[in-house]
Chains A and B, each alone.
Chain A
Amino acid sequence: MMDENDPLQMSFSDALTCVFGAAIALFLIFVVLVKFAPATPYATTGLQAGSELSRAVQREAGGKSSVIIQAYSEARGNKCVSTTSSARRLAVTSQDEWEIWDGVWQEHNGDGLKTTCVRLFTLAEGLRAPVTLVANEGGLGDLLHIQVQVGAIVWPSVDDRRYSYRLQPKPGSLSILVIDPTSRDNTVRVAEGL
């Protein structure tokens, strides 16, 4: 009589209910609630997970991004040609068609006229494949400043990155930096050894 009136006594149906309940709970947690995990925040870090970036690039494949790479180096003898300026030795290797612009910036400083050579690479619409910035036959030992600016909905809001290198002469072409919209780590990678 005591056993039949015990409210804490567990029956077979109680155990069955518990098992079904646990199964439903696990299903909800691992299948349904997983989507509530926070998205990768890329506004503050400047970086973005590769999978999300790939989807975004596909969405904007019609051409909704812009990339501008500016390279500066001081000219020797105030002339901006490939034998007097590292900036004029630069090129991009990419599947996309980039525009290459050259410019000359001159100013008077204490030592006279200083000439800075500018080479600007621009892809106005749609970065879809990785691009590598290379220096032909290395550099000339002068300081090379590089500014990378990217802009579109898929890129971080901190879109201005600056690098400075002293490129020494080397045979062949030297890879300087890679912008990879499909990478899983940084969207801009600097080549090792620089």
Chain B
Amino acid sequence: MARQLKHATGGNTFGLSFIDLVSGGFGASFFLFLIFVMLPIDAGGQVSGGSNFLDVWLQWQEEDVELEVVIEYQAKDNGPKSLYRLTGRSFFKNGGTERWSYSSVKNSPFWSSFSAAGFSEFGEKRLSRKSNTRSQNFGNWMRFSNPCPGTYSIKINAHTQELTRLWNNAEPTEVSTVVKVIHANGGSAPSFLETRAVLMVPQIDRPDDRPALMFDGNPKLLFTKDNSKPEAYLHCGPGF
């Protein structure tokens, strides 16, 4: 009855009471809590999560040569340059599991895991395929997962056996090669590079870590560190 009387006598129904102010304060606090508690979850979800790898393909068409990729890696400016080649003495392949391992007193691996195809201790030391034009292509492939920051150069080496060299009278062979490089750092779009070159390949093999024939892939590849993924560089050692 008192309430009806107040309305009837024209009381201010839009006036704020003390309980209105307290209620509004609690409501505003609740909303601010909701907003600032949930925002960091969104920031944590911005993980790129993509693959971080360096793919190198080497392809050619001449049948009587066997080529391989040699990676030259320089971790820091003015630092030492290391050469990596699969037919050297540091790479081993387990024939049962088809997994590669690397062991060297001079160099340390710049990758966390490694895959390759087209290399063999005996037999065919390359991959082969028939293209649409029925011509035969040869090649080999390497993939380095999580490559460390630094400067990379792609080089090509011949590794034909000595017996072949004698059989062919050591005549150099002109070879057209294609080097394809795919680099993905997991965060941005991968980059695709392709370099073509004509090489005069001597029929000779040098079974050590220093290639006989060096071809500088141009341009050189410069990989920088992605600071959002420090766990991807744990294998690179101190300083990365």
Which A positions have Cβ atoms within 8 angstroms of B?
Answer: 1-4, 7-9, 11-14, 17-18, 21, 25, 28-29, 33, 35-43, 48, 60, 63-66, 68, 70, 72, 99-109, 113-116, 118, 120, 122, 124-125, 145, 147, 149-157, 159-160
A12-B13, A29-B34 are contacts. A159–B123 as well, Cβ < 8 Å? Answer: no
B46 at the interface (CB under 8 A from A): yes
B31 at the interface (CB under 8 A from A): yes
Further 17 A-B residue pairs, CB within 8 A, beyond A21-B27, A106-B123: A3-B2, A4-B2, A14-B20, A28-B31, A29-B34, A65-B190, A68-B143, A101-B127, A105-B93, A106-B120, A107-B121, A116-B95, A118-B117, A151-B51, A153-B50, A157-B49, A157-B50
Contacting pair A101 B95 (CB below 8 A): no
Distance of A48 Cα from B49 Cα, bound (Å)? 10
Q: Kindly identify, within residues 176 to 226 of chain B, every residue whose CB is under 8 Å from any CB belonging to chain A.
A: 180, 182, 184, 186-190, 192
Distance of A14 Cα from B41 Cα, bound (Å)? 35
Return the chain A residue nearest B126 by Cβ.
A103
Interface size class of B (residues with CB under 8 A): 35 or more
Over the window 1-12 of chain B, the binary record of Cβ atoms lying under 8 Å from chain A Cβ atoms (1 yes, 0 no) is 011001000000
Distance of A59 Cα from B198 Cα, bound (Å)? 36
Q: Kindly identify, within residues 109 to 158 of chain B, every residue whose CB is under 8 Å from any CB belonging to chain A.
A: 113, 115, 117-124, 126-129, 139, 141, 143, 145
A7-B18, A70-B117 are contacts. A33–B35 as well, Cβ < 8 Å? Answer: yes
Main secondary structure of the interface of A (DSSP, over half): mixed
- Neighbour of B118 across the interface among A48, A101, A109, CB < 8 A: A101
Over the window 23-37 of chain B, the binary record of Cβ atoms lying under 8 Å from chain A Cβ atoms (1 yes, 0 no) is 100010001001100
| Total A-B contacts with CB atoms under 8 angstroms apart | 174
Contacting pair A38 B145 (CB below 8 A): no
- Neighbour of B129 across the interface among A8, A36, A41, A100, CB < 8 A: A100
For the complex formed, measure the closest distance between the CB of B53 and the CB atoms of chain A, giving whole angstroms: 5
B52 at the interface (CB under 8 A from A): yes
- Neighbour of A157 across the interface among B3, B51, B120, B127, CB < 8 A: B51
Distance of A41 Cα from B47 Cα, bound (Å)? 7
B14 at the interface (CB under 8 A from A): yes
Distance of A21 Cα from B121 Cα, bound (Å)? 76
Chain A residues near B52: list those with CB within 8 A. 157
Distance of A125 Cα from B115 Cα, bound (Å)? 19
Distance of A139 Cα from B143 Cα, bound (Å)? 28
For the complex formed, measure the closest distance between the CB of A40 and the CB atoms of chain B, giving whole angstroms: 8
B105 at the interface (CB under 8 A from A): no
- Neighbour of A17 across the interface among B6, B20, B46, CB < 8 A: B20
Chain A residues near B17: list those with CB within 8 A. 7, 11, 14
